[in-house]
Structure 1
Amino acid sequence: MEESRVTLRQALDDFLEVCRINKASVHTLRNYGKDLDFFLSWLESAYQLTHVNELQLKHLRGWIGYLQKYTTRRGENLDDNTVRQYGVHVQVFCHWLEHEDYIEKPITTKFKLPSVEQKFVPTFTPEEIQKLLDACDEGAVYRPKVHKALTARNRAIVSVLVDTGIRRKELAGLRLRDIDRDMRVLLIHRKGDKWQQVPISREGFKPLHEYLTKYRPQLAAVGGRTKAHKDDPVFLTDMGEQLSIVGVSKLFNRLKKRTGIEDKKVSPHNCRRYMATTQLAMGRSPLDVQRQMGHTTLQMTNKYASLSIEHLQRSHEEFSPLRAKHVKDDRGPTGSGYWDE
């Protein structure tokens, strides 16, 4: 196929197919498809441009300028982060076009993405973490036969999120086989279809163990699960079904109302921020924290390679966020915030 005859729409289909082969998530594929379709539609409208060999640097710059002036149906402008994200997706697509020789002359080397001001995102304090744990009680009025089981489940969820820093999706996807109770290690399905062992401290594991051994069977019985199977989900609803990602979010919406925390987001992701900022403030190695969170780059991977799970377990045990309430003020600030990157 001659590059001069390849349309941008054909190239986009090829790009998305490569992403699928490389096991990009459904979410990633949807976002790339939507954003790049918007970009190609704009090129067709503004420049009558339809073929790959017609694409130039001025078009990429014009796209950013268009987005910065773009007004939504609600009469709102796009925020800087959204504009940059559109730019990132176009940049990745064009890099791929260059790499696959769809484009002879590179156009991305001089393409600069708009800078975005980093915003300081406040995270929880140790006192607020305790409020969240105290607010886990669903009350006897709500499903009276299983309210104790739901309360134990909620405490296990908050404890696991705060202690390990795993993501909402990762928590909802946990299966019984993913928990090593002897080692106190969770096998987490990370982004990019990768698996990682993540340690959990004794204090974090205690409410999880209590839920698994004493209360989860009660919820499972409601759903007709008389015998636990290794492929069964860890966290169940009041009907004995798998707790979904949306279900986790709804739980935190209820916790927000009960705690009265209004000056910050009450979300699983803020538990993740709390874990990171607290452990760093307590002196844990930044490398260990990044490994714990699953934030990996090519540069950092070589440094992570020397860290065994045993080393990570010992380090995490010492710096469990659930012990933060015992830390004196002279040890450093906790709950001071986290750069949301």
Structure 2
Amino acid sequence: MNAVPSPELPHTLRAHLDDYADYLRLERDRSVHTVRAYVADVRSLLEYLCTGRAGATLEELDLRTLRGWLGGQATAGVARTTLARRTSSAKGFTAWAQRTGRMAVDPGVRLVAPKAHRTLPPVLRQEQAADAMAAAESGAAQEDPVALRDRMIVELLYSTGIRVGELCGLDVGDIDGDRRVLRVLGKGNKERVVPYGRPAEDAITTWLRAGRPALANERSGDALLLGRRGGRLDQRQARSAVHDVVRAVPGLPDLAPHGLRHSAATHLVEGGADLRVVQEVLGHASLATTQLYTHVSVARLRAAHDQAHPRA
């Protein structure tokens, strides 16, 4: 997959950008979405490098240029999380350019990323999650194939905390019904086993019995989740299913699949699950990422105390 070059870039810089996109995809095995985001960041950097410089080359990309590029975005009000990602994109590109002989030195070594404010999307309270699952089950009562599928989507996302991309990538053979676990292929092609509960088991069983056969055709292959035309369900359709289910319950915040993942993780921590276990379930590479959920739980505890205790 080659990058779509900006017409303002000289031919040599366009070639470097294409090569970097291939490196991310073929050697680093990054997802399509990740490659697109990183390449867009680097293209923006190279366009900044070319501003007022005819025929700019990579050797002109120095620390001052990197800081000027990020500083301009900060002044324009770009979010800190976006600046942190773009800093990471730039550092990855300059390291690759130096390693492959395209630059004599790596100016990104001294570039410091702004610390992103680590926040979570809205999460459901446990009773709200139960209401959402009940709404999905009620919608599937008539055994309409799409309603059965959508019930399984929300049940699995909440029961397992897996990512929506991981959900859509599941095959029928990834379900171990005897042990009630899923075999999930996560980021970096790392495989993990994730348990699911009895309500999710019921949703899976009903989908495989009455939902999937009604949608399956020659396009289906081994995909667990199918679209209306029988092909593997894509992430956009899964997101729509979650939004539709949540909107059916008055008073619930509008939630995307990632919100169900965060709700699952928060409720695991609130229920006393060991952080290492939660880390394994979620597929986090670092325990520090998982520890964010302890902050959420403490914040909820603080709020409950302030509201209920007479001497709060």
Give TM class, smaller chain.
Answer: 0.7 to 0.9
Once residues 116 and 298 of structure 2 are traced to their aligned partners in structure 1, the CA distance between those partners, rounded to angstroms, is: 26
Determine whether 1:17 maps to 2:6. Answer: no
Aligned position for 1:31: 37
- Give the 5 Å matches for 1:122-141: 122-136=122-136, 137-138=138-139
Q: Is the alpha carbon distance of 1:241 and 1:287 closer, same or farther for their aligned partners in structure 2, counting shifts above 3 Å?
A: same
Code of the residue aligned with 1:30 in structure 2: it is R
Aligned position for 2:148: 152
Determine whether 1:248 maps to 2:233. Answer: no
Aligned position for 1:268: 257
Code of the residue aligned with 2:260 in structure 1: it is C
Three-state SS of the structure 2 residue aligned to 1:213 is: helix
Q: Is the alpha carbon distance of 1:25 and 1:155 closer, same or farther for their aligned partners in structure 2, counting shifts above 3 Å?
A: same
The Cα of 1:235 is off from its aligned counterpart by 2.2
Once residues 247 and 48 of structure 2 are traced to their aligned partners in structure 1, the CA distance between those partners, rounded to angstroms, is: 43
Q: CA RMSD in A?
A: 3.1
2:163 to 139, 159, 167: 167
Count of aligned pairs: 282
What TM-score do the two structures reach when normalised by structure 1? 0.72
- Give the 5 Å matches for 1:1-341: 7-22=12-27, 23-48=29-54, 50-70=56-76, 77-119=77-119, 121-136=121-136, 137-138=138-139, 146-147=143-144, 149-217=145-213, 219-220=214-215, 223-224=216-217, 231-238=221-228, 240-262=230-252, 264-297=253-286, 336=300
Structure 1 unaligned blocks of 5 or more: 1-5, 71-76, 301-331
The Cα of 1:65 is off from its aligned counterpart by 0.9
1:30-89 C-alpha deviation (Å, 9 max, x unpaired): 22222211211111014446212222111110111111234xxxxxx4322222222221
1:184-240 C-alpha deviation (Å, 9 max, x unpaired): 2212222233333322234432322232234433x23xx557xx98x4322234555
Once residues 113 and 171 of structure 1 are traced to their aligned partners in structure 2, the CA distance between those partners, rounded to angstroms, is: 32
Three-state SS of the structure 2 residue aligned to 1:60 is: helix
1:225-271 C-alpha deviation (Å, 9 max, x unpaired): 7xx98x43222345555432221111122123211245x34121111
Three-state SS of the structure 2 residue aligned to 1:183 is: coil
CA contact 1:43–1:49 (8 Å) conserved in 2: no
Code of the residue aligned with 1:176 in structure 2: it is V
Higher relative CO (Cα under 8 Å, sequence separation at least 6) belongs to 1
CA contact 2:163–2:257 (8 Å) conserved in 1: yes
The Cα of 1:125 is off from its aligned counterpart by 0.7
Code of the residue aligned with 2:261 in structure 1: it is R
Three-state SS of the structure 1 residue aligned to 2:107 is: coil
CA contact 2:140–2:151 (8 Å) conserved in 1: no
CA contact 2:83–2:113 (8 Å) conserved in 1: no
Once residues 265 and 334 of structure 1 are traced to their aligned partners in structure 2, the CA distance between those partners, rounded to angstroms, is: 23
Code of the residue aligned with 1:267 in structure 2: it is A
Q: Is the alpha carbon distance of 1:240 and 1:101 closer, same or farther for their aligned partners in structure 2, counting shifts above 3 Å?
A: closer
Q: Which range moves more in the overlay, 95-104 or 178-187?
A: 95-104
Code of the residue aligned with 1:155 in structure 2: it is R
Code of the residue aligned with 2:285 in structure 1: it is T
Once residues 120 and 165 of structure 1 are traced to their aligned partners in structure 2, the CA distance between those partners, rounded to angstroms, is: 14
1:281-329 C-alpha deviation (Å, 9 max, x unpaired): 22222122111111115x99xxxxxxxxxxxxxxxxxxxxxxxxxxxxx
Once residues 114 and 296 of structure 1 are traced to their aligned partners in structure 2, the CA distance between those partners, rounded to angstroms, is: 21
Once residues 194 and 65 of structure 2 are traced to their aligned partners in structure 1, the CA distance between those partners, rounded to angstroms, is: 44
CA contact 1:125–1:334 (8 Å) conserved in 2: no
CA contact 2:166–2:185 (8 Å) conserved in 1: yes
Three-state SS of the structure 1 residue aligned to 2:109 is: coil
CA contact 2:45–2:66 (8 Å) conserved in 1: no
What TM-score do the two structures reach when normalised by structure 2? 0.78
Three-state SS of the structure 2 residue aligned to 1:130 is: helix
Once residues 299 and 266 of structure 2 are traced to their aligned partners in structure 1, the CA distance between those partners, rounded to angstroms, is: 7
